[in-house]
Amino acid sequence: MSAVLRHWHPALIATLVYLLLCMLKSGPIKLVTGSSWHAWYDQSQYLRSTLALAQGDLSPASHWYPLLYPLLAVPFVPLLPGNPFLPLDLICVAMLVYALIRVAAHLGIGMRAALIILLLSIAWPPELWQAWVQPWTSTLSAALIWWLMARTGDLIVAQSPARPRDAAGFAFVAAMIPLARPADMVVPTTLCLSVAIILARRGMLGWRQITAALAAAAAPILGYAALHLAIYGAVPSDYTRLSMEIGTHFADLGWKMSILFVDPAPWFPQGTGLLTRIPWIVLGLAGSFFVLLRRADDSRRHSYAACLLLATASYIMVFAAYIDLLPTGLWRFNGLHYFKWLLPLLGLMAWLLIRDARAAPRYAIAVIAGTFLLTGLRLVAVPAGPDEPARRIDVIAPPNADWGTIYFARSATTDPAGPMRNVFEYRQVLDHGHIRLLALSRDFGPGIRWYPDGIAGLHWPQGGPGPTPPFTSPAPVAPVARWRTRLAWELPCWIGTCRAQHL
């Protein structure tokens, strides 16, 4: 027992520090009662589901989000009925810290450096710390992802063949991740495929390992399926239907990467690119290229790093393609929490670049220069002709509603290609007396018209935008300006050349 505690000692100390910082951020009373976030939609839905499960309430109306996070908080309801997620989050943080130390060791980074990197990567900027203090399903998902990455290292970096129980532990954690956050499935999928290919090439993957892995993965999946059937029956939940209705759009991935990471200003009047607000990400990006290009003496360690970075890149592309992830929501609605798990990994990559640059100066110079050039690319807005497709249109229609009502309104547009709904196919934002409409699923065609109060007969899924109060302008409304995209290179925003719009 003492050996186990000694092994977990750094993680437990880091978790205690996390708890103290939470108390400083929220105050002891609000931290225990959860009163600081009870009015927030996401968190209130988590709490509602947890309390319902604790009382045996399996009615669909009591459960909105995926069930694993609320379910795991049920044992803590008698202890902290106002915030049963606090003990669960503390366990998740301890797991994450322990796993991060193991991942760092597999990458050749010492424990002390790993803990410093973790602290810096979750504390800057302050909005990022808020993503860890409040209950989010991504806290559980982050712990599971890091635990899976640690087990990936156990299988890839280890010299001995994988035992069936090692494969089972890996698969069990992999199966848990989509039960916490279905969209995060891309990470375990990528890591599972990578591990299977690498072990198969080494002749270390046999039927015993495969059978153990499948059996271990089936256990949580079947248990979750039974709970889902008891609540919703053999149909998707309303949350799943809504997420599928919003969907992803990979054709415009370049534009989404530009507005999320570089500079949203030509398109969204509010919001800041991630690289502008968190400029050290650039060093992590350069470090990632450095690690991939510089083949160290240990080929197993290089393969392991490549697996982690492949999973990270896949995750970023999937989430960037998600239609509802926009610069406004990134900061105003704490959408930043989607990325909180991968920032410590980028911190580790940055450390490897700093530590090993003198040993491979040509690679270091090349990746720094390449990253500088890459992060200067962005898609800017230029006027579009009346017959050209447009990514953005501006309409003059002063509404009798606030920013949030306009942002979520059941407005619509129509053009020769058909109607488009706010939130699902395009997004509208207030901008100093006029409204910007941003196309998300396809460009606006010629003859586009905006219907502020919506179009009769359009389908709006459960949980979608609420009713729209009457606007002061009659419908339909023609645009006063049309804008299309153009690829350009300018000095990167992260060196301070772009405005930083804090929400």
Q: pLDDT per residue over 64-90, tens digit each? A: 999 999 999 999 999 999 999 999 999
User: What share of the chain has pLDDT > 70, as a percent?
Assistant: 95
Say what the pLDDT of residue 299 is. 86
Q: How are beta strands 434-439 and 392-395 bridged, if at all? A: antiparallel
Does the reported pTM lie above 0.85?
Answer: yes
Q: How many CA atoms lie within 13 A of 176 on its CB side?
A: 22
Residue 330 is predicted with a pLDDT of 87
Residue 370 makes CB contacts below 8 A (sequence gap 6+) with 286, 289
Q: Where are the alpha helices (DSSP H) in 27-123?
A: 28-33, 41-54, 68-73, 85-106, 111-123
**Each residue's pLDDT tens digit, 122-168:** 877 777 877 888 899 999 999 999 999 999 999 999 777 778 899 99
Confidence of residue 260 (pLDDT cuts 50, 70, 90): very high
Residue 34 has pLDDT above 60, yes or no: yes
Of 298 and 56, the one with more pLDDT: 56
pLDDT given at position 82: 94
**Residue 444 and residue 394: Cα distance in Å, rounded?**
12
Spell out the residues 6+ positions from residue 474 whose beta carbon is closer than 8 angstroms to its own: none
The closest alpha carbon to 399, from 434, 438, 427, 439, belongs to: 434
Taking residues 301-322, report their average pLDDT: 96
Nearest to 287, CA basis, from 492, 155, 129, 109? 109
Q: How far apart are the first and last CA of the chain?
A: 48
Is residue 433 pLDDT above 50, yes or no?
yes
Q: How far is CA 307 from CA 153, 177, 312, 317, in A?
A: 9, 17, 9, 16
Indicate if the pLDDT at residue 385 is higher than 60: yes
Mean pLDDT, rounded, for 32-54: 93
- Across residues 96-105, what is the average pLDDT? 95
The residue type at 26: S
pLDDT given at position 464? 78
Which of the pair, 498 or 387, is modelled with greater confidence? 387
Given a cut of 50, is residue 252 above it in pLDDT?
A: yes
- What pLDDT score was predicted for residue 503? 45
Average pLDDT of the chain, as a whole number: 91
pLDDT of residue 502: 44
Over range 299-305, report the average pLDDT. 92
**Would you state the pLDDT for residue 110?**
93
The burial of 59, by beta-carbon neighbours within 10 Å (0-12 exposed, 13-18 middle, 19 or more buried), is given as: exposed
Domain ranges for the chain, please list them: 247-378, 391-478
| 112 contacts: CB under 8 Å, gap ≥ 6 | none
What six digits make up the tokens of 464?
């979608």
What pLDDT digit, counting tens, does each position of 344-372 carry? 999 999 999 999 999 999 999 999 999 99
